[in-house]
Structure 1
């Protein structure tokens, strides 16, 4: 190995070599766990990507790529960061599956991609809706596939996500971490794009009659995290998720029995059983609004009035943008 290659593989300042005793109980799966989620600066390719000289070589290339992927997974030659994010698995498995919904089922259109920073930390704040959180997943695809820098979006998830055994592991692998200020600040200070939905369960669990009406943003913890790190806040408006599972009722006694925030009754669920989990094919529009700078307000991170006013500005921006997008999409199930 040349001196240049050895230098390129050195741990960056602030990076943590992933050891069995590392954060969140994840074990070492490769070399250094860089926070930027890339191996040697090159994002992993999807499984189907390969070089083919002609149509007859396409499947050979795909099979070879799949076998190489399996070899790396079985031999542990892949990287995760100290939050558990696995960029190769995300780009090779998770995103190709989600892109089928994103492109063919929801027919998603995106605007304002120039407002997503191509480098450095930023906080993307979106409206939450739709009973099941497809909007968060579709936003990660939009950031990865539609923006010029094709960056990964690191979502902040509710505690409930990490109490469900299989879902917890998949969430960690795809880059989700617990929605707390220390984790958010750490990610943004290392130059990551962080995504948050301040409405939480109030947003996804609201009745269909309240669609596209933003719920309360809580105590503005996301604003404090952005202020402390001086990172810009990018409001994001998402239209389409409200119609995927129109919430008609909430069976509260059953929700309390199961220990969940709400138990939804939709046109599909629970009447259709497992088929009720298939979302309706609504037309989606996503718009990234101009970023709101915070670098000049770092000293006011603990000022409740500054935090409240900035959170209110973000909320009003998203609400106004939702109204504009709804005018562009009069038919939820139109082309």
Structure 2
């Protein structure tokens, strides 16, 4: 694949696809320690055919974005939270932790080096940043790798779901996303590989994606595809599911805080029964890639429950979206420590 050329990008029609940008950051762990890392133009990783990442899925990643502000600066949204979650994912899979301060610094280096690919302010585009760690080296027994590669690459992106802030319909899945004592709270590759078939089934039936229920009773909402669920109750409470197998979303916890402290709503993280959808006036999915995707309706056991509308975003969801993206793009005052400037 040829290197991307910023001068040839159509900023108003970006998708959510891989691009080979000029620079990425790479560091290697071997002999029990991290070697000095740095920026590189090499976009191909060379690893042993016996690397544990290939056989046993020893890998973890993060999803982040860099935003162009109206005064043409570039900033990150809560990168320290991604660094902390990356640390927890590494610990879960017995991988060496890349120091959190160096993680944030490396992300800034990648964003700055690829500054030409951060979309201009006003079109909704962002620079999506993907930190990744994989277990490498010649290992065939089931145990952790002797070596690791940590890398960060980036790409210019538009909306994750086509249509942007437009309601889409989902359906519940009979498959489990993760077990309560499994790797659901870690952002690891295997969780997403297991989601491909349920998502494909949902697409074939005309839905944007599927909603996973809890793996024990199959009645409590867990995740919406690869995003977190939230609902706005008819009496003004922002609710989001609580479960030991849900990935702790930086976006979700940001919305929880904003709902209570900026919008004056109640805010609660609790079990949400899929049979109790009537309590919600609005609902949506949230995450770094999707930001917020309104749920028009949710099909369960052959019946479609419609929330606010199948065609129009609800007023509270729109206000949450405007507040969150305003902070991310620098037009709304951010809570202390939520944004970090790159340049």
State TM-score, norm by structure 1.
0.29
State TM-score, norm by structure 2.
0.29
Whichever structure has more helix as a proportion of its residues is: 1
Whichever structure has more strand as a proportion of its residues is: 2
